[in-house]
């Protein structure tokens, strides 16, 4: 008699990678090109995770970069780089970890390249964004959530 296996096979796969949304604005052009260039960059990054069906998830990495010279916005670029991932056979904590670290790590180089291309096509010097350690960000987020939870004494 064959014994039923209780071990589920772990699976991680990419079904599709795509751009969900792009925005590029240069509200102070052409004047910004005539001024002294003293850029300051602001950077925001977030993820949205949606369960599409059993073991299939859409992960959207949202990257927004605003560059100002003096107090004038030179440009604002926003890219929502998305992917559909198959993730199965993992415990709940491992699943969350994978969706918040592995998936954004795969998506980020595509978003970075898109941002650099948009900035260059907008007439500015290429913007080379530094790599991001999504594992460290996730660990920091988890630690912050634990600190924010009230402790109860019985």
Asked whether the predicted pLDDT for residue 15 surpasses 90, the reply is yes
Express each pLDDT in 64-101 by its tens digit: 999 999 889 999 999 999 999 999 999 999 999 999 99
Q: Quote the CA–CA distance of 69 and 65 in Å, as a whole number.
A: 13
pLDDT in the model for residue 5: 46
Complete domains list, the chain, with CATH:
11-147 (3.10.420.10)
Residue 92: left if φ>0, alpha if ψ -120 to 50, beta else—which one? alpha
Give residue 20's pLDDT band: very low, low, confident or very high (50, 70, 90).
very high
Cα separation, 9 vs 90, in Å, equals 8
Q: Which of 124, 87, 132 is nearest to 107 (CA)?
A: 132
Contact by Cβ (8 Å): 57, 84? yes
Q: Please provide the distance, in angstroms rounded to a whole number, between the alpha carbons at the two ends of the chain.
A: 51
Q: How high is the pLDDT of residue 141?
A: 87
Dump pLDDT digits (tens) for 92-135.
Answer: 999 999 999 999 999 999 999 999 999 999 999 989 899 999 99
Q: What is the mean pLDDT of the chain?
A: 90
Least Cα distance to 117 among 66, 77, 62 occurs for: 77
The pTM for the full model equals 0.86
């Amino acid at each position: 008699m064959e014994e039923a296996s209780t071990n589920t096979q772990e699976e991680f796969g990419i079904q599709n990678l795509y751009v969900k949304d792009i925005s590029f604005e240069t509200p102070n052009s052409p004047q910004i090109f005539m001024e002294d260039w003293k850029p300051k960059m602001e950077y925001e990054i977030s993820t949205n995770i949606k369960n599409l069906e059993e073991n299939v998830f859409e992960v959207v990495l949202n990257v927004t970069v605003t560059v100002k010279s003096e107090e004038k916005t030179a440009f604002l670029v926003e890219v929502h780089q998305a992917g559909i991932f198959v993730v199965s056979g993992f415990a709940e904590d491992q699943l969350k970890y994978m969706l918040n670290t592995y998936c954004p790590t795969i998506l980020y180089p595509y978003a970075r390249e898109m941002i650099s291309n948009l900035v260059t096509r907008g007439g500015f010097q290429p913007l080379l964004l530094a790599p991001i350690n999504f594992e460290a960000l996730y660990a920091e987020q988890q630690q912050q959530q634990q600190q924010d939870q009230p402790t109860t004494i019985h």
